[in-house]
Amino acid sequence: MYMAFKHLHLLLVVLSVLLLFIRFGLRLKSSPLLQQKFFKITPHVVDTFLILSAVALMITIQQYPFVNGWLTEKLIALFAYIALAFSALRGRTPVIRWLSFLGALGWLGLMVRVALSKQPLFLPF
């Protein structure tokens, strides 16, 4: 089951990030496509299943945030990523949107690094 959850999780990560890139590009162009149902619903569905797959992985490997430092750091990075992605899509000015987008990608990079190494970068435990 672990490999199935892991591959599902990785697929959903790719879809989520791809949707962020697409939506960010459409937002920069003020495209009316952003008002289509697909772009309003699909990212939330993908992200919901992404979080559910993460929970399934945690249960499968029996490691949890606030117990294992690397998962705690990943969870903190996830909240920062979500906040900055939201700001990238809803920010008032193009500068705020770009800085938020780049910041979100930085936090995404941290999540990938921590996921691959299973070692927190900033937390001492």
* The domain boundary residue, chosen from 47, 62, 77: 62
**Averaged pLDDT for residues 57-70:** 96
Is residue 72 located within the same domain as residue 53?
no
- Domain range for 57 is 1-62
Could you say which of 27, 42, 62 is where a domain stops? 62
Same domain, 75 and 117: yes
Confidence of residue 125 (pLDDT cuts 50, 70, 90): low
Each residue's pLDDT tens digit, 4-53: 999 999 999 999 999 999 999 999 999 999 999 999 999 999 999 999 99
Would you state the pLDDT for residue 84? 98
| 46/71 same-domain check | no
| Three-state SS letters, the chain | CHHHHHHHHHHHHHHHHHHHHHHHHHHHCCCHHHHCHHHHHHHHHHHHHHHHHHHHHHHHHCCCCCCCHHHHHHHHHHHHHHHHHHHHHHCCCHHHHHHHHHHHHHHHHHHHHHHHHCCCCCCCC
pTM: 0.91
Query: Residues 8, 58: one domain?
Result: yes
pLDDT at 77 > cutoff 90: yes
The owner of tokens 């930085």 is 106
> How many domains is the chain partitioned into structurally?
2
Q: Which of 62, 81, 97 is the last residue of a domain?
A: 62
Confidence of residue 123 (pLDDT cuts 50, 70, 90): confident
